[in-house]
Structure 1
Amino acid sequence: MQSESTVDVSIRDLKPIQFDIEMLRNIEQFLFREARLLDERRFWDWDDLFSDNGMYWMPHQHEQENPYDHISLFWENRMLREVRIRRLENARNWSQQPQTRTAHLVGNVTIEGRDDYGYLVVSATFQVSEWRLEQRQLSGRYTYKLLEQPGEDWKISLKRVDLINSNDILSNLEVFV
């Protein structure tokens, strides 16, 4: 286990692992369910997919090594995710009138290997159609560090969201990508 202050975000030097099609399908279903929770605005259920010290990271630069030496679009622990969820659900939040709607498309799921802490590293491509008064497209690559829970589902230790246009001028990113 690693603490929030020592989160290893590296995805280099991974140890290859043997896996079967059942494991891949299980991970795909986990990622598809995560996307559906976001599309259905079930943010609390989505947040429960994270481990207690799980982090949500959206780098600002392509190939950004870490969130410590450069600004990020998001670097959120559980507390910051919960603050955002409460804001999104607040009936007086004018920036969610009307509410943002999304449709996530997740594909090219790949098991990359294990990191030094034993987390399973998985990547996937994504496209998100987002609408709130006008429609926009977001796309890129997700990279996850997943914690295996014996007899339970996976837990997200790290979700890295690399937008293809992360260093572009973006209007507010209200909901989670």
Structure 2
Amino acid sequence: MTTRPTNDAIAQFIYNEAALVDAGRYDEWLDLFADEAIYWLPLSAKQSDYRGEQSIACEDKMLLNVRIKRLKGPRAYSNQPPARCLHVLQAPAIEEADTKLNRFITRAPFFYVESRGDAQFFLAGRVLHRLRVENGVLRIVEKRVDLINADAALPPIFLFP
């Protein structure tokens, strides 16, 4: 059985995850993910599985790593000037805390701003984190971002809402 992290520790983990992206510390952010993790932006909040359905984005840890390398690379011409972002999160609600299964699920409403040069856009929705403890450390197994306007024409999203 896994030692249950406190609600405060889980919330701090979620806040830290967003802060790492906001600070452009993408390698540290990626280290928060389990090896088989999925980062998913579904087209609809009704979608229950990322397999076999279209998504705005659905990336495993390897693809996230490729994106991060591209963002940091000298030939990321489409990201000039570099994108910056800011996450504003409501306190995450702990929806499930099962120490026997080593599964912790949170959900939080969020507001996200991404800016490049003079252009800026906003996204809002709910973010779900499926977490587990590995060697005493929380890891993200799945991050699901449900945008309230997922069915709208969206601008290119360079970073990670």
TM value normalised by structure 1? 0.82
**Alpha-carbon contact 2:102-2:133 (below 8 Å) kept:** no
1:76 is matched with 59
Distance 1:62 1:113 in 2: 19
Deviation, structure 1 residue 172: 0.9
2:158 is matched with 174
**Alpha-carbon contact 2:86-2:114 (below 8 Å) kept:** yes
Matched, 1:130 2:114: yes
2:103 is matched with 119
The residue identity in structure 1 corresponding to 2:139 is K
Distance 1:106 1:143 in 2: 12
Deviation, structure 1 residue 91: 1.7
Distance 1:98 1:154 in 2: 34
Distance 1:118 1:92 in 2: 41
Distance 1:94 1:44 in 2: 20
The residue identity in structure 2 corresponding to 1:80 is L
Deviation, structure 1 residue 66: 1.1
Deviation, structure 1 residue 118: 3.9
How does 1:1-177 map onto structure 2 within 5 Å? 23-114=6-97, 117-133=101-117, 134-150=119-135, 152-177=136-161
The residue identity in structure 2 corresponding to 1:74 is A
Q: What are the ranges of 5 or more consecutive residues in structure 1 without an aligned counterpart?
A: 1-18
TM value normalised by structure 2? 0.90
SS, match of residue 61 in structure 1: coil
Deviation, structure 1 residue 113: 1.1
Q: What are the ranges of 5 or more consecutive residues in structure 2 without an aligned counterpart?
A: none
The aligned length equals: 156
> Where is the strand percentage greater, Structure 1 or Structure 2?
2
